[in-house]
Amino acid sequence: MRRIKIGIPRALLYYWYGPAWQVFFQELGLTPLVSGPTGKAILDAGVKTAVDEVCLPVKVFLGHCLTMQTRCDRLLTPRYISVNKDEFICPKFMGLPEMTRQAVGSGRQLIWKSDQHCHWDSLKALPPEIISGFPRNRVMKSLKKAKAALEAYQLLMQGGLLPAEAEAALLQGRTPERTEGGPLIGLIGHPYCLYDAFINLGAVQLLQGQGFKVMVPEMFPARQITMELRNLSKPLFWTLGQRILGTFRLMWEKGVAGVVYLSAFACGPEALISEMVKRESKAKGLPLLKLDLDEHSGEAGFITRMEAFLDLLKRKRGYSCV
Amino acid sequence: MRSGVFFGVDVGSVSTNLVVMTPGGEVVKKVYLRTEGNPVAAVQKAFTQLGGDVAKTKVLGVGVTGSGRQLIGAILGADVIKNEITAHGVAALQAEPKVRTVVEIGGQDSKIIIIRDGVAVDFGMNTVCAAGTGSFLDQQANRLNLPISEFGALALRARHPVRIAGRCSVFAESDMIHKQQMGHPLEDIVAGLCTALVRNYLNNVAKGKEIEPPVLFQGGVAANAGIKKAFEEELGFPVIVPEHHDVMGAWGAALLAREERANYQTSRFRGLQFCEEEIKISSFECPDCANRCEVITVMVAGAKISGWGDRCGKWQRINTAATG
C-alpha cells in the first residue's frame, strides 16, 4: 500500500515545530515530506500569488505550498492562534489556511490548529481528518511522541545549537561540527527571518564567517523570557514580539558585542517591538543594527551595512580587523 | 615616496577617486574622476593620470572601497576590500582625531558615522531613496543649466531662500519649477534646495542620532558651500570640511591597507599594466539550481580572474584560486 505523503512547507513556524510535525506523521504511518530550502523560484511564486499586504514570510510560505503541492497528497497549513496563555500569534497567521486555499486552490489542506493550551496536548487541535481516520489511542501515542520530540528539539537549541543543527541532531542523529570561540554576537528577529538563509542573504553564515559566535532567540527557554519581561508596564500581546525583546535583554546580559535585528518588511507587530528594542539598545549602550528584509532586498546595501557594523564591533573591542 | 606607497581607491557611483599615500599616512597625490557608468575605465584612467614617478615606486599595499569595490578589487589585485562606512570613519579620524560626527554625502548615498573617543559607535545610511544625495543636486544643476561647481557660490548669494519640499526628489523638482514660475530669483531657489537637502538628511539619515561637534563634512557634496552653510544653520555650530574631503573614502581605504599590512607580506597589486589590458566583464544566470543567481565573471586577457554574485560560492572560489 502506498503511504500517504504529507507536505510540510519549510516556512513560518516550521522552524519551531517542524521536527515535531515530522515525528507525528511518521508515527501515524504517513510520510512527511518537507519542502526544500527557500529559493528564487519559491519566492517568485509566493510574491506573484499573495495579496500585497502580507509580509514577506507569508509570501514565502505560499511559495513553498505552491511549489510542493503536486508532490504530496495533503498539505499541512497550520492555523496559529496562540501558543501561550493570554498571548497571540500575528493575525495574519490565523487566516493562513484560508490564504493558502485562495492561493493553492486545493481542498487537500490539513489544518492543524494551535490555540490556547491545546497545541500539543489535545486532540481538538488536530486536523479532523486525522482524528476520524485513525484509532484514537494511536493518535494519542503519536502526539505524545511528537511532544517529546518538540521538547528534545527545544533543549538542543537551548544547549546552543541552531535550529537546522538541532533538527539534524534529533532526526538524523547527526551532531554538528562546531568551531567554538570568537566574540558573541546576537541575532534577533522572528524565527522565519533568521533561519531562512535565502531571504536573509545568509546572515548567520555571514556572521560566522567573520569569526563571531552567533546567539539566537531559540537558545533561550520561554520561561526565562517571561521572567525577563516581568517589569514591563503592560504585558506584550504578541508571543513572537516578546521573544524578540526578551532575548535582546538576555543577550545583553550574556555579554554580546552587538545585536543584529532582522525584521520583515510590512510586519505590523514588529513596528512597535523594534522601537522598544531601539530605545533599550540606546539605554544599554549595546550596538544594534536593524535590517529590513523584503523581496527587493538589495544585496549591496545589506552586505555593506552588515560589514560596517561588524567592523565597528571589532574596532570597538580592539579585535583585529580581518 | 622612496620608501614605497599605498594606493587607496574609492569606486563610487558618481566619482572614482584614487589617492597615493606615504607610509606615514600623508596623501601625496589624488585623482578625482567621474565614474560615468564605467568603473573599470575610470580606474584605468585614474591610474594613467598618476604619471611616471609613481610607476617607479614600490607598492606596499592597495585598498579599495565604494560600491564598485568588488569588481575593482579583483581587477587591481587589492589587499584590502572594505565597505565605505569603515573607510570614511578611518579617514575622518586621521584628519581630525577629535571628530565626534562624520557627515558624508556622496553620489548615490549619504551616511552619518557617530564616533566617540576615537571609535565608531553607530552609523546610518540613506535607505533606497536618493533625495538628499549628490546625484539629485547634479540633476537639478543640469536642469537649471548651472555648472555644479557654481551651485554653492550661487546659494551663498541668496537673500531670501525659498522653502522647497525636500522629502522626495520628484516632488522637490516640481516644487522648484513652481517657484521658478512664480518668479523667485534663481539664487533663492538654489539656497532653498540646499536647505531642503540638509533637512532631508537630518530627518532621514541622521534620524535619532546625536550630532555633536566636531562635525566633519566629507564626500563630493562637501565642496558645495551652500550645503555647508545650510548644515551650519540647521545645527547651530560650524562644520569642518577637511582638506581631502573629496577623496576621504580612498584615503580611508589606503589607511586600512596600511593597518592590515601585518596580514599580507607583499602586495597582491597586479601592477600598472592593467591600464592597458583588455578587461571583459560578463554576467549570466547560473542554471545549476533553483536560486538562479546572477553571476558576474571578470576576464583579463582571456583568463578568468574572478567571479561573484552566487550564493553557493562556486564561482567565488576562482577568486582565491587566481589571487591567493
Please say whether the dihedral angle defined by the alpha carbons of residues B220, B223, B224 and B228, taken in this order, is positive or negative.
Answer: positive
Phi and psi for B99 in degrees, rounded to 5?
Answer: -55, 140
In a domain, A172, yes or no: no
Chain A residue closest to B258 (CA)? A321
Q: Which of A41, A202, A316 has the CB atom closest to B121's CB atom?
A: A316
> Looking at A158, A189, A215, which one is the last position of a domain?
A158
- For the segment B309-313, the average pLDDT, to the nearest whole number, is 74
The β-bridge partners of B297 are B282, B307
- Look at A231-240, A272-281, B214-223 and tell me which has the smallest mean pLDDT: A231-240
Is a pLDDT exceeding 60 seen at residue B322? no
The residue with cell 560650524 is: B238
A33 in the same domain as A134: yes
Q: How many domains does chain A have?
A: 2
pLDDT digits (tens, 9 = 90+) for A253-285: 999 999 999 998 778 888 889 999 999 998 998
Residues of B in contact with A303 (CB under 8 A): 83
Structural domain span for residue B318: 279-323
- Predicted confidence band at A37 (pLDDT cuts at 50, 70, 90)? very high
- Are A42 and A109 members of one domain? yes
- Indicate if A131 and A197 belong to the same structural domain: no
Give chain A's mean pLDDT: 88
- Phi then psi for residue A30, to 5 deg, are -105, 170
> Total structural domains in chain B?
3
* Tens-place pLDDT, residues B181-209: 999 998 999 999 898 888 888 888 888 88
Q: Does B280 touch chain A (CB under 8 A)?
A: no
Domain enclosing residue A232, as ranges: 179-317
**Closest chain A residue by Cα to residue B209:** A282
Of the three residues A109, A124, A158, the one that is the final residue of a domain is: A158
Is A168 part of any domain? no
Query: Taking CB atoms and an 8 Å limit, are B86 and A312 in contact across chains?
Result: yes
User: Do B18 and B67 sit in the same domain of this protein?
Assistant: yes
Last residue of a domain, one of B241, B265, B287: B241
d(CA B250, CA A129): 66
Q: What is the pLDDT of residue B124?
A: 87
Confidence of residue A322 (pLDDT cuts 50, 70, 90): very low
* Domain co-membership, A19 together with A98: yes
Predicted confidence at residue A320, as pLDDT, reads 45
**Cell for A241?**
514580539
Handedness of CA A222, A226, A228, A229 (dihedral sign): positive
Q: Is residue A166 part of a domain?
A: no
Please tell me whether residues A197 and A292 are part of one structural domain. Answer: yes
Same domain, B114 and B202: yes
The verdict on residue A302 lying in a domain is yes
- Within a domain: B51: yes
Question: Residue A61 has what pLDDT?
Answer: 94
Q: Are residues A105 and A187 in the same domain?
A: no
Q: Are residues A89 and A215 in the same domain?
A: no
Domain harbouring B270, CATH code: 3.30.420.40
Q: Tell me the DSSP string of A251-281.
A: HHHTT-S-EEEEEETT-HHHHHHHHHHHHHH
Residue A168: which of A202, A195, A140 has the closest Cα? A195
Cβ separation A39–B290 shorter than 8 A: yes
Please indicate, yes or no, whether residues B76 and B35 belong to a single structural domain of this protein: yes
Contact B290 A41 (CB under 8 A): yes
Residue B38 pLDDT grade (very low, low, confident, very high; cuts 50, 70, 90): confident
B65 located within any domain = yes
B184 and B267 in one domain? no
| Residues B155 and B235 grouped into a single domain | yes
CATH of the domain at A242: 3.40.50.11900
* A222 and A280 housed in the same domain: yes
The residue written with cell numbers 525583546 in the block is A245
Asked whether residue A201 is assigned to any structural domain, the reply reads yes
pTM score, whole prediction:
0.85
Within a domain: A171: no
Q: E strand or H helix at B260, and its extent?
A: none
Instruction: For residues B140 and B81, state if they share a domain.
Output: no
Q: Which of B79, B94, B122 to mutate to test the interface with A (most CBs of A within 10 A)?
A: B122
CA distances in angstroms from A305 to A104, B78, B89, B111, listed in the order given: 37, 21, 14, 11
Looking at the fold, whether B178 and B230 belong to one and the same domain comes out as yes
Q: Are residues A115 and A214 in the same domain?
A: no
Mean pLDDT (whole number) for B15-33: 92
A191 and A108 belong to one structural domain: no
Residues B185 and B285 in one domain: no
pLDDT at residue number A321 = 40
Indicate whether B165 belongs to any domain.
yes
Please check whether residue B119 lies inside any domain of the structure.
yes
- Domain identity same for A97 and A40: yes
Q: Is B104 on the interface with A (CB under 8 A)?
A: no
CB A62 within 8 A of CB A46: yes
Asked whether residue A152 falls in the same domain as residue A196, the answer is no
B109 & B54 share domain: no
Residue scoring higher pLDDT (B50 or A219): A219
Q: In the prediction, which pLDDT does A117 show?
A: 61
pLDDT at B52 over 90: no
Residue B92 maps to a domain: no
Q: Is residue A100 part of a domain?
A: yes
Assigned domain for A167 exists? no
Q: For position A147, what pLDDT does the model report? A: 93
Out of A95-109, B216-230, B253-267, pick the least confident: A95-109
Q: Do the Cβ atoms of A18 and A170 come closer than 8 Å? A: no
If asked whether residues B271 and B288 sit together in one domain, one would say: no
Chain A nearest-CA distance from B120, in A, is 6
What is the percent of chain B where pLDDT is above 90? 35
B214 upstream amide cis, omega within 30 of 0: yes
B261 in any annotated domain: yes
CB A295 within 8 A of CB A315: no
Are B55 and B166 in the same domain?
no
Same domain, B75 and B122: no
Residue A300 touches chain B, beta carbons under 8 Å: yes
Mutate which of B121, B283, B312, B320 to test chain A, going by most A C-beta atoms within 10 A? B121
